[in-house]
Amino acid sequence: MCGIVGILGSKPVATDLVDALRRLEYRGYDSAGVATVENGHLERRRAEGKLRNLESRLLTEPLTGRTGIGHTRWATHGRPTERNAHPHMSAKVSVVHNGIIENFRELKAELTGKGHTFETDTDTEAVVHLVTEEMQGGRGPIDAVKAALGKLKGAFALGIIFAGEDDLMIAARQGSPLAIGHGRGEMYLGSDAIALAPFTDAITYLEEGDWAVMRRSGVEVFDRAGECVKRPLIKSVASSLLVDKGNHRHFMAKEIHEQPDVISHTLSNYIDMANGRVNFPDLGIDLTKISRVTISACGTAYYAGLVGKYWIERYARLPVEIDVASELRYREAPLPEGGLALFVSQSGETADTLATLRYARANGQRIASIVNVRTSTIARESDAVLPTLAGPEIGVASTKAFTCQLAALACLAIALGKARGTIDEALEQELVTALVEVPRLISSMLRDEEQFVELAQMLSKARDVLYLGRGSSYPLALEGALKLKEISYIHAEGYAAGELKHGPIALIDENVPVIVVAPEDDLLEKTVSNVQEVAARGGQIILISNANPDKIGCALAAHITAPKAHALTNPLIYAVPVQLLAYHTAVFMGTDVDQPRNLAKSVTVE
Ligand code: M6R
């Protein structure tokens, strides 16, 4: 899962390619490169590490071609070195690639046998040699790519340029998104429309199996069968102005602080504020007849889905099955007749989630998705889309997208409960009022950020950190642990508080901070017993709760006071302290908060 761009320009394109790559760094950032057609031959510049290293390389060794491709990488095959960085090329062909060529070993063996020499450890290089081989056999570039595509297996997006072809670029999509941008006398290619936003808002999305022949004068799109097809030209809403940090040091900090606003926007999409009613879009399925909801997602989005399960079961009394996308599909879970399958994804491009969506569709489910990117593949392949209005989330650690997903899920739970008669008007009003309060309560927590800076120093010394929670706070414990490990690299695990005594308690000693997410609700007493078990073994307890600490009955290393909220909305409120704890710990430790090592924002490989 990498970012790819291409420009057929009217002037040298290297600088614009790098500019577009900057907007794609969320897809990977372990190396980058560009290639252009320079006076008829192919030239490239590549660099290990962040994009700024490629920029420096281009300053000392500029490229002047008007036709070029670029790439920012998240390594799948081969270490993140300059040698493995894209574009990959032969004397005739240069390729950028996102995804995985599953049969590259077979192709490499075959092509090596035909005299091709492979220089890298990547799967992508097989594409270069395959197209080159076809061209050496006498085919022109277009026929060569067409023939090569027929031999590739896997999920990929490709951008290809050719020596001696200043007005030609070929794009291909099979499982990984690709957008074509239309300019005046220029054409663009990108992994998404955001990458192309500074150049054009006129976008054509390639569909599964499509490949396109691009020239400055326009584009011809062909489907998998080789038929010339028309794909709509749409006006993209991706803005070039949206991606900046404002007054914040990191995107993650900005995104944490945006939560009151974006939760409010998301809620207003599903709530009639004036009447205290949920105003939910038609999912195209009779809500009273749904036999079961199946939720699937990955990472933080999965934890949002897990909160959704607690809510839907509690408020709508409807059974919910949930599993991470990479498991649900491969265990071939039986899905019920009349079932609703719900997918949660910030990017809308996560490969595991998308594959599971297709599995659910093939198994007769009605498909709904909660996505932040409305033009994404998951959105486009859903029967009903429930958008989150979080705006672009740039920090790799998901924050505002998570709470907006929760906001949409809470409204869905209420809509289901109303339809099924488990929520009456009075309860609906109570729940809606509680949701409307959330932005204000989060704002109040954000005003008290200083306490997290101190706590971060304590956490930064830990080797392991445990998070505990019960009921709908259990997913928050999981989310807290994920946030901490992904940006501070401290080992952290989340547990259901009641599970502690079944094993994890063996880890506890005086060096292990235990962060307990425990709102004052009907489960608090039970959680208190678990906290005491931790205290008896010397664990350092950091309590996040609105409850009076006296109720806990043991010494606390720290207490983060959360505002009192309705049981429904506690997960939205408690998301903020676990985000701030992780953020300040990472800042204190000096890690790369927005682009932590080994990760990428959008995970488009399985
Ligand atoms: O774009 P998605 O919501 O589908 O992404 C799912 C996960 O990859 C994502 O939530 C990931 O776990 C984040 N890095 C968590 O902060």
Task: Write the CA distances from 329 to 154, 324, 349, integer angstroms.
Answer: 17, 9, 16
Query: SS3 for 300?
Result: helix
Of 256, 378, 478, 603, the residue with max ligand 1 atoms within 8 A of its CB, to mutate for a pocket test, comes to: 603
Helix axis angle, 450-460 relative to 474-488, nearest 10°?
70
| pLDDT on residue 75 | 82
Q: Give the pTM.
A: 0.79
Q: Do 80 and 225 belong to one domain?
A: yes
User: Is residue 605 domain-resident?
Assistant: no
Centre of ligand 1 to C-alpha 347, Å, is 8
Q: Do 74 and 131 belong to one domain?
A: yes
Smallest CA-to-CA distance from 382 within 393, 397, 371 is with 371
Q: Do 414 and 391 belong to one domain?
A: yes
| pLDDT on residue 240 | 47
CATH of the domain at 563: 3.40.50.10490
C-alpha 158 chain-centroid distance? 21
Question: Any idea which residue has 């490989």 for tokens?
Answer: 605
Name the strand (E) or helix (H) holding 544.
strand 540-545
Task: Write the CA distances from 252 to 258, 263, 371, 529, integer angstroms.
Answer: 10, 16, 19, 35
Question: What HEC string does 24-91 produce?
Answer: CHHHCCCEEEEEEEECCEEEEEEEECCHHHHHHHHHHCCCCCCEEEEEEECCCCCCCCCCCCCCEECC
Of 194, 252, 347, the residue with max ligand 1 atoms within 8 A of its CB, to mutate for a pocket test, comes to: 347
* Minimum CA distance residue for ligand 1 atom 8: 299
Centre of ligand 1 to C-alpha 140, Å, is 41
Of 192, 255, 298, the residue with max ligand 1 atoms within 8 A of its CB, to mutate for a pocket test, comes to: 298
Domain end (from 418, 436, 454): 436
Q: Do 431 and 324 belong to one domain?
A: yes
- Domain range for 166: 3-247
CB of 326 closer than 8 Å to CB of 606: yes
Q: Do 83 and 155 belong to one domain?
A: yes
Dihedral, CA of residue 179, residue 184, residue 185 and residue 186, to nearest 10: -30
* Minimum CA distance residue for ligand 1 atom 14: 397
Q: Do 298 and 234 belong to one domain?
A: no
**Number of structural domains in the chain:** 3
Pocket of ligand 1 (CB under 6 A): 298-301, 345-347, 350, 353, 396-398, 482, 486, 599, 602-603
Centre of ligand 1 to C-alpha 266, Å, is 19
Of 300, 371, 400, 482, the residue with max ligand 1 atoms within 8 A of its CB, to mutate for a pocket test, comes to: 300
Centre of ligand 1 to C-alpha 398, Å, is 6
Q: Given the CA of residue 298, which atom of ligand 1 is nearest to it?
A: 6
User: Is residue 405 domain-resident?
Assistant: yes
CB of 432 closer than 8 Å to CB of 278: yes
Centre of ligand 1 to C-alpha 301, Å, is 6
Smallest CA-to-CA distance from 71 within 150, 143, 176 is with 176
Centre of ligand 1 to C-alpha 601, Å, is 7
Query: SS3 for 531?
Result: helix
The pLDDT tens digits of the residues spanning 234-262 come to 888 665 445 678 779 999 999 999 999 89
Sequence-distant (6+) residues with CB within 8 A of 37 are 65, 66, 67, 68, 161, 162, 163, 164, 165, 166
* Minimum CA distance residue for ligand 1 atom 12: 299
User: Is residue 599 domain-resident?
Assistant: no
| pLDDT on residue 208 | 85
Active-site annotation holds for 2: yes
Q: Do 167 and 291 belong to one domain?
A: no
Domain end (from 414, 436, 458): 436
* Minimum CA distance residue for ligand 1 atom 10: 300
User: Is residue 80 domain-resident?
Assistant: yes
Q: Do 429 and 452 belong to one domain?
A: no
* Minimum CA distance residue for ligand 1 atom 7: 299
User: Is residue 401 domain-resident?
Assistant: yes
Centre of ligand 1 to C-alpha 504, Å, is 26
Centre of ligand 1 to C-alpha 397, Å, is 7
* Minimum CA distance residue for ligand 1 atom 9: 299
User: Is residue 301 domain-resident?
Assistant: yes
CATH of the domain at 154: 3.60.20.10
Q: Do 217 and 116 belong to one domain?
A: yes
Which of these is catalytic: 108, 146, 483, 601? 601
Q: Do 219 and 308 belong to one domain?
A: no
User: Is residue 109 domain-resident?
Assistant: yes
Q: Given the CA of residue 378, which atom of ligand 1 is nearest to it?
A: 4
DSSP state of 461: T
Domain end (from 247, 277, 302): 247
Q: Show the low-confidence residues of the chain (pLDDT under 50).
A: 240-241
User: Is residue 524 domain-resident?
Assistant: yes
Q: Given the CA of residue 300, which atom of ligand 1 is nearest to it?
A: 10
Q: Do 363 and 272 belong to one domain?
A: yes
| pLDDT on residue 28 | 81
Smallest CA-to-CA distance from 25 within 45, 55, 65 is with 55
CB of 171 closer than 8 Å to CB of 162: no
Q: Do 36 and 167 belong to one domain?
A: yes
Pairing verdict, β 384-387 and 366-371: parallel
